[in-house]
Structure formats: structure tokens, C-alpha cells
Amino acid sequence: MKKIFQKTFFTPHFFLSNSWEPTNFGFVRFSDARFGNVLLLIAAIILFAVVCSASPCHGQEEQATSLSAAHASLENVGWLLGDWTYDTTEVRMECSIRWSPSGNYIISYDTALAPDGSIVYRQIRIIGFNPISELLQAWIFRNDGGFGSALFQQFGDSWIVPTRIILADGRVTTATNIYTPVKSSGYIWKSISRTLNNVELPPLGPVAAQPATLKPQTEPPIL
């Protein structure tokens, strides 16, 4: 095979062989059939390059489909977008909720304030689409080192969001948060099945999220 290749393709023997012939019009033509095959190969490569540049390649199509699926799924909770405040019996919540620059995530910057105005905690919630479970999922990071996750599932007009957070001191808190969008604007929020280290806590809400004007936040650049 190696010897055949050396004698046939792109060797000095191939190009210097006596295959050029004069024509009556002063031009030359290559009579060796191998040269015709090479021309066909070059033409095919050029045609493939032109077609690929004019239409999205396979990887680009997959990426575009993935981006569209994530964004389209998140649009189902688009009513979350905006600046909101609501008061519970424990804290006052301030939530600034925006699209990420890529449009593949919704990012919520949350601040919990005590009755005296002091900050109880700050956290960021990154809401994205899980293509395996086909559910919306949130990753939660608190400024004191706590972190957690949540899932969004729609039941009727409401979204049920079971949430689990590991606090900075190692304790574990869980809750089922329920969001019900209001047709005019905003949403109703309540929290049930609350626990702290498996000890039951009283429910919170329901309370109505009210529009607010909060300090703009900067999204994580990679999102």
C-alpha cells in the first residue's frame, strides 16, 4: 500500500512524468487520469468548505438547540423577573431577578433583612434548565458559605419548589416554597414543610411580592 501511494500521489515521479502534451491552441492538457482524480478531490474539498460555511455545522446546530431549550423552559417562570420585596414574620426579603447575559439562566440576588434593618443573609440563586430531568433547577449560594439547591415543578397555576440548604455552620434547612404568579404583576409566596436539622418550623406566608426599585447587581460573567 505504501509503495502504491508513493507511485501514485504527489511524488516527483507523478508531477515530472511525461504526461503533458501540447495542443493546437498553445495550451497544455494533462492526459494522466490520476490528475483528473486529484482535481475532483480538490473540487470536492472546496465544495464541502463552501457548504459548511454557508450553513451551521452539526456542533453549532446542537448548541443552538440546547440554548433554545434552556431559554424556552425558563420563560415559563418569566413572571419572576424584576425587583420584588415581601415581608414574612421573620424577615423582609428583597429579590432582584434578571436574565443572565447568555439568556440561559435566570439569576436572583436575594437579601434577607431583620426587623431592625440588619442583614440576616445574602444569597444568589441561579436558575437553569436540567435537560436530563427536563425540570428547572436552582443552585443557591449564600455569602456566609452556605449553599443548596432546589427544583421547580408546576402544579396548576403554582410552582412547587422543594429546597435544601446546608448552612455555613453545618446545619441543614429544608422547605417547600410555593410561588403563584399574579396575572397583573408579581407573585404570591409561601413556605411550608420547613425544617432545621429535622426539627419542624412554622410555615411562612402567604405573602404578596411587591414591585420595588433595588440596587442593580452584576451577573457572573461566565453565565
Distances (CA, A) of 124 to 8, 69, 112, 127, 146: 65, 23, 12, 10, 11
Residue 124 has pLDDT above 80, yes or no: yes
* Contact between 60 and 179 (Cβ < 8 Å): no
Distances (CA, A) of 9 to 15, 41, 113, 136: 9, 12, 77, 56
Strands 187-196 and 158-166, sheet pairing: unpaired
Written as one letter, the residue type at 35 is F
User: What local confidence, expressed as pLDDT, does residue 144 receive?
Assistant: 94
What mean pLDDT comes out for the span 215-219?
67
Query: Tens of pLDDT along 144-168?
Result: 999 999 999 999 999 999 999 999 9
Q: Give backbone dihedrals phi and psi of 222, rounded to 5 degrees, phi first.
A: -75, -10
CATH architecture assignment, domain 73-211: Beta Barrel (2.40)
Query: Tens of pLDDT along 26-53?
Result: 444 444 555 555 555 555 565 555 445 5
First to last CA, the chain: 52
Residue 172 has pLDDT above 90, yes or no: yes
Domain extent listing, the chain: 2-55, 73-211
Alpha-carbon 51 to chain mean position: 29
User: What local confidence, expressed as pLDDT, does residue 164 receive?
Assistant: 98
